[in-house]
Amino acid sequence: MSQWFGDTFRKLHKLYVSPQWAKAQGERFDAVSYADSLERSAVDCLELYCKDHHGTCYYPSSLGLPHPRNILGELLPELKKRDIRLIAYFSVCFDNYALGAHPEWRMVNYLGDPYKLRPFYMASVCSPYTDYALQQLDELAANYEVDGFWLDIIPLARDARQDLWMIAPHPIPDYSLYAQKAYESEKGEQLPMQPTPEEEDQIFEFMTAKVEDFLNQCYAVIRRYQPEALITYNAAGAPGDPIDSADLISIEGHAPEYVRQSFNARWAKTRGKPFEILTAGALPRMELGGGWNGFDQKPLKFLQLENAIALAHGGSMVFGQAPYPDGETDSAQFAGFAEVFGATRELEPWLRQPRGLSDIGLVFVPKPRRASRLWGVMQDGAEAFHDALIDMHLQYDIIQLDRDVAEYQLLVLPDQAALSEAELEILRNYVGAGGQLLASGCSSLWHADGGRRADFGLADVFGLEYEREAGCEFVYLRLADAALREDVTGLPIVIDETPLRVALRGAEVLGDFFAPESGRSEATTILWGDAGPDEEKRFPGITRNRYGDGFCVYIAAPLRARGMPQAWVKRLMGVLAASLVEKPVLTTNAPAGVEVVLNRQEGRCVIHFINRYAGSADHVAWGDDGANLRDIEIAVDLTRAGLYGFKRVYCAPDKPLAYELADDRLSTVLPALNLHALVVIE
């Protein structure tokens, strides 16, 4: 039912929000003109606000705030005439009208203070609000034949850290009277006022189950009328989604966090569902909703760059587009989207259903429901290695351990704390059979249900025994291995995380940690700096261990790669990974700010080059020449790519490229890269 979504790439998320106080509310909305503008802009799918956070309904509903115009009813037939699909957006747990009339339906803390995200209250899914919302949804699904439903503000996240991933938080606990009664009825005890960590786990599972039940009711209402309509929700299929029941993967990701957008896309690419990355069309101001309802559209380069990131992995970058409250849309917005989507339409044959051709599997196995307290640790570890690998142009997939991993030359296990026995066995067998493993931090110290192990689950593979946390706020790393010192640095590397103390059980040391002479305090500072390394407080930092026919390199600390303070750490991560890939499938001299993605399609390989320099917020490239890079060299292993019978090499859609063949490798040069280019071998 959702395959059409994966084969289309030109989508807008229309945030028509027209509250009661707005002047000339809806008076200038013209469905015919709007549909014509979408068609001229090459849009093939529109996600339309049908109920907003204020509680306003843009279709006739027996409940909620009415709007003077039936926006959905007027626009839907015009879109059908133009073969533009429509997905109905519905705000679920933000509804200020209903929660103002019924304050007892709100999520509250134990003092009764309502949970509020900026101006909007959050509804408790344990309250009768769910019946209210289901009736509105029933009227929408019964009367309008749309292609899908997009449910927003589903409370899924355990804590504020996950807000980075745009999953609406479910405060622990929700003390609304309805939640208290439901918890006591189900658990036979009162909802704790000051829960222990274990009780928090239990409460989160209870609340997640209530959300899941409500979502299933929403699905049943929709499918009663429209069994073929696709259904998704905000953050569906995201790494922190504890339910993952939608037809699509839908994750928000916003400029200028281009590396995080790439992480979202790489994560979604291997999950077996069509996916979208959603971004505001306007310049982001986080205090005003991240740009979703802004009218100052991003410069064209920003839109094009974000679009390229999703396209390179076979997904859609869905742009927010905000009409004025009176219903009119600035024509300049359509002009910008026409530029983006016109170019996209030309490239669509090279975008559909790609499969990564990779040397590395970046293992990310979040367990947001079973081991929810460890989600942040595992997420941070995976994102840090993503940041390092992308700049080294190493080809990698973000994978879970639910597939055959033998195809990869290297598996990276970045602070993956909670691993099941089955996952441990997959990793153990992989290394034993000759694979290479690069692991870090607390990987395998917890069971899949969040319970602590006495030692690393992979202690035999690491060649180490876990002793304890080192007890210092940061640590100095000195590389002992000559090759690492040459490729990274001979300088001490500050790792600004609490390291682990490990005992050697067969592993050799590649680098040592040195604790500082003292902790951070005003009494011990060196001017404003930290204490120096204590030569007597030395312990293993980086180790290497043979296990079976393979090797494991382990770093005994969490690693982070964002920003200038992490420059040496990021270099170390990239060099370690590169040193464990004996024969990379692709090499290039592209600079670090260019993302290079090698995909396989039937009978050909497609290499995407995405120039993140073009999206610099401080150096906007207004024209075509502001960010040009030239003479980018590429070499591809034809054996790995399976392309011995290739006939041509070109830059899509149709510019031929000269090439050379030597030792089973094809070499060519991309003459110029402005923002996004596709090199094709077929």
Q: How confident is the model at residue 482, as a pLDDT?
A: 96
**CATH code where residue 668 lies:** 2.60.40.1180
Q: How many CB atoms lie within 10 A of CB 658?
A: 9
Do 342 and 212 belong together in one domain? yes
Helix (H, G, I), strand (E, B) or coil at 43: coil
Give the pair of three-digit tokens for residue 339.
């530029």
* 375-391 residue pLDDT tens: 999 999 999 999 999 99
Q: Which residues pair with 587 in a beta bridge?
A: 635
- The 10s digit of each residue's pLDDT in 60-76 is 999 999 999 999 999 99
SS3 of 681, please? strand
Q: Considering the domain boundaries, does residue 116 fall inside one?
A: no
Domain tally for the chain? 3
User: How sure is the predictor about 199, in pLDDT bands with cuts at 50, 70 and 90?
Assistant: very high
Chain centroid to Cα 383, Å, comes to 9
Residue 198 in domain: no
Domain membership of residue 610 as a residue range = 586-681
**Among 82-96, 120-134, 162-176, whose mean pLDDT is lowest?**
162-176
Residue with tokens 């153990």: 428
> According to DSSP H, which parts of 396-528 are helical?
421-432, 459-462, 482-487
511 and 448 share a domain?
Answer: yes
Angle at 366 between CA 361 and CA 371, to 5 degrees: 145
pLDDT digits (tens, 9 = 90+) for 577-594: 999 999 999 999 999 999
pLDDT class for 168, splitting at 50, 70, 90?
A: confident
pLDDT at 118: 85
Q: What CA–CA distance (Å, rounded) separates 232 from 238?
A: 12
Spatial strand order of the sheet with 550-555 comes to 396-399, 360-363, 410-414, 436-440, 550-555, 533-547, 508-516, 475-479, 493-495
Cα 623 from chain centre: 30
Residue finishing a domain among 579, 606, 621: 579
Same domain, residue pair 323 and 367: no
Distance CA 372, CA 449 (A): 9
**Beta bridge partner(s), residue 543:** 509, 554
| Other beta carbons within 10 Å of 551 | 20
Check whether residue 404 and residue 548 sit in a common domain: yes
Question: Average pLDDT, stretch 434-443?
Answer: 98
What digits encode the pLDDT tens for the residues 538-552? Answer: 999 999 999 999 999
Tokens 């949970």, residue located: 115
| Position 375, amino acid | W
Same domain, yes or no: 155 and 36? yes
Is the pLDDT at 415 greater than 80? The verdict is: yes
pLDDT, mean of residues 224-240: 96
Q: Which band of pLDDT confidence, cut at 50, 70 and 90, is reported for residue 511?
A: very high
* Contact yes or no for 115/106 (Cβ under 8 A): yes
Summary mean pLDDT of the chain: 94
| Token pair listed for 239 | 């790494």
Strand partners, 232: 150
Specify whether the CB–CB gap between 91 and 64 falls below 8 A.
no
97 Cβ contact partners less than 8 Å away, ≥ 6 residues apart = 54, 55, 56, 64, 65
Percent of the chain topping pLDDT 90: 86
DSSP code for 211: H
Residue with tokens 């396209």: 311
DSSP of 256-315: T-HHHHHHHHHHHHTSSS-EEEEE-SBPP-GGGTTTTT-SSBPPHHHHHHHHHHHHTTT-
Q: Which of 293, 317, 348 is the last residue of a domain?
A: 348
Query: 10 Å Cβ neighbour count for 51?
Result: 28
Q: What angle do CA 608, 610, 616 make, to 5 degrees?
A: 175
C-alpha distances in angstroms, 639 versus 235, 330, 467, 662, 663? Answer: 38, 52, 45, 12, 10
What are the tokens at 249?
A: 């993967």
Using DSSP bridges, classify how beta strands 45-51 and 396-399 pair: parallel, antiparallel or unpaired.
unpaired
- Same domain for 288 and 367, yes or no, is no
Q: What radius of gyration do the chain's Cα atoms show?
A: 26
Q: What confidence tier does 163 reach under pLDDT thresholds 50, 70, 90?
A: low
- 639 φ, ψ to 5°? -65, -50
Q: What is the pLDDT of residue 626?
A: 56
Residue 187, domain member (yes or no): no
Contact call for residues 98 and 61 (beta carbons, < 8 A) = no
Residue 618 pLDDT class (50, 70, 90 cuts)? confident
Bridge partners (DSSP) listed for residue 516 = 533
- Rounded average pLDDT over 356-377: 95
Query: Looking at residue 614, what is its pLDDT?
Result: 87
Q: Is residue 202 part of a domain?
A: no
What pLDDT score does 189 carry? 95
**271 HSE (CA, 13 A, CB side):** 25
Give residue-wise pLDDT tens across range 240-281: 999 999 999 999 998 889 999 999 999 999 999 999 999 999
Instruction: List pLDDT tens digits, range 22-53.
Output: 999 999 999 999 999 999 999 999 999 999 99
Final residue of a structural domain among 545, 579, 613 = 579
Residue 438 forms part of a structural domain: yes
Q: Which amino acid, one-letter code, is at 379? A: Q
Q: Kindly state the tokens that stand for 308.
A: 């390229």
User: pLDDT confidence of 58, banded at 50, 70, 90?
Assistant: very high
The reply to whether 344 and 362 lie within a common domain is no
pLDDT of amino acid 644? 81
Least confident of 158-167, 287-296, 473-482: 158-167
List the beta bridge partners of residue 659: 668
Q: What angle do CA 434, 437, 440 make, to 5 degrees?
A: 165
Q: How far apart are CA 19 and CA 65, in angstroms?
A: 9
Q: How far apart are the first and last CA of the chain?
A: 31
pLDDT for the residue numbered 436: 98
d(CA 381, CA 417): 10
What is the CB neighbour count within 10 angstroms for residue 36? Answer: 14
- The domain that holds 554 is classified in CATH as 3.40.50.880
The mean pLDDT value for 154-171 works out to 72
User: Do 119 and 172 contact (CB within 8 A), yes or no?
Assistant: no
Q: Which two tokens stand for residue 553?
A: 């390199």
Distance CA 552, CA 461 (A): 7
Q: How confident is the model at residue 617 (pLDDT cuts 50, 70, 90)?
A: confident
Three-state secondary structure call for residue 607: strand
Residues 279 and 389 in one domain: no
Q: Is the pTM of this model over 0.85?
A: yes
CATH number at residue 53: 3.20.20.80
Do 415 and 519 sit in the same domain of this protein? yes
Strands (E) located in 82-209:
85-91, 116-117, 120-121, 148-152
pLDDT confidence of residue 288: 59
Residue 200 in domain: no
What distances in angstroms separate CA 76 from CA 41, 79, 85, one per listed residue?
Answer: 17, 5, 9
CA–CA dist 302, 613 (Å, integer) = 10
Could you tell me if residue 105 is inside a domain?
A: no
pLDDT of residue 171: 77
Please give the single-letter amino acid code of residue 607: I
Q: Residue 65 has what pLDDT? A: 94
In DSSP terms, 495 is beta-bridged to 475
User: Strand 604-611 and strand 676-681: pairing?
Assistant: antiparallel
Lowest mean pLDDT among 92-106, 112-126, 545-559: 112-126
Burial class (CB in 10 A: 0-12, 13-18, 19+), 416: buried
Helix (H) / strand (E) element for 550: namely strand 550-555
Indicate the length of the chain as a whole number. 682
d(CA 557, CA 474): 9
Residues 220 and 292 in one domain: yes
The secondary structure of the chain in percent helix, strand, coil, rounded to multiples of 5, reads 30, 25, 40
Q: Are residues 493 and 416 in the same domain?
A: yes
CB 63 within 8 A of CB 132: yes
List Cα–Cα distances, 337 to 274, 297, 300, 409, 602, in angstroms: 22, 10, 8, 41, 30
Overall average pLDDT of the 584-610 stretch: 96
Same domain, yes or no: 161 and 142 = yes
For residue 344, pLDDT beyond 80: yes
398 falls within a domain: yes
Is the predicted pLDDT of residue 178 greater than 60, yes or no?
Answer: yes
Question: Per residue in 492-501, pLDDT tens?
Answer: 999 999 999 9
| Confidence check: pLDDT of 631 > 60 | yes
Instruction: Identify which of 491, 537, 531 has the alpha carbon closest to the alpha carbon of residue 514.
Output: 537
Instruction: Specify burial of residue 198 (Cβ count, 10 A radius: 0-12, 13-18, 19+).
Output: exposed
